[in-house]
Amino acid sequence: MTRKQRRLTLIGGSLAVLAIAAALVLNALRDSILFFSTPTMATEKQIQPGQRFRLGGMVREGSLVRGEQLKVKFEVTDGNAILPVTYQGILPDLFREGQGIISEGALDAQGVFKADTVLAKHDENYMPKAVAEELKKTGHWKDDYDKKPQKAPGVQGSVSEGIRK
């Protein structure tokens, strides 16, 4: 083999190894990706039972039912569709009816979302972007969701502003 042929063989082999490594990484990531859906999107997409996804929306007023051994049933809505959810575990402190949540899990054969993780918004101004967009589309968006918190009278800036000075 000439020097040029050896160099081309080395480059070709390197590219093949790189392509195989990239394919393996993408295949591994595909299994861990969870798509976000609202109740309307979940019913429109005809999501198959057992397929994991993230469900986002508002906890429907009057739907929260607490059972034995930390079992909880509630309904998540985006204003158009309602999806029943079951969860077993400790709910976040900020979880309540009328609250925006994100939960991870899968649908069962009866169309009930079996959540294994429930996340509640962390303050009164946080709303996941996709949930906010869906609420705006359905007309359930409140104008005060966009407002920034007001500073208390006599308070100069924030703690982080004071640290930077």
pTM: 0.60
Q: Which residues are annotated as a binding site for heme?
A: 122, 126
Comparing C-alpha atoms, which of 81, 145, 62, 104 is closest to residue 73?
62
Binding residue positions: 122, 126
C-alpha 85: how far from chain center:
15
- Distance, CA of 131 to CA of 39 (rounded, Å): 11
Q: Which of 97, 73, 101 has its CA nearest to residue 85? A: 73
Q: What is the pLDDT along the chain (165 residues), one digit of tens a residue?
A: 899 999 999 999 999 999 999 999 988 887 666 677 889 888 888 788 888 888 988 899 999 999 999 999 999 998 888 999 999 999 988 888 888 899 999 999 898 999 999 988 655 455 667 767 777 777 766 655 455 444 444 444 444 344 444
CATH superfamily of 37-120: Nucleic acid-binding proteins (2.40.50.140)
Separation of alpha carbons 5 and 3, rounded Å: 6
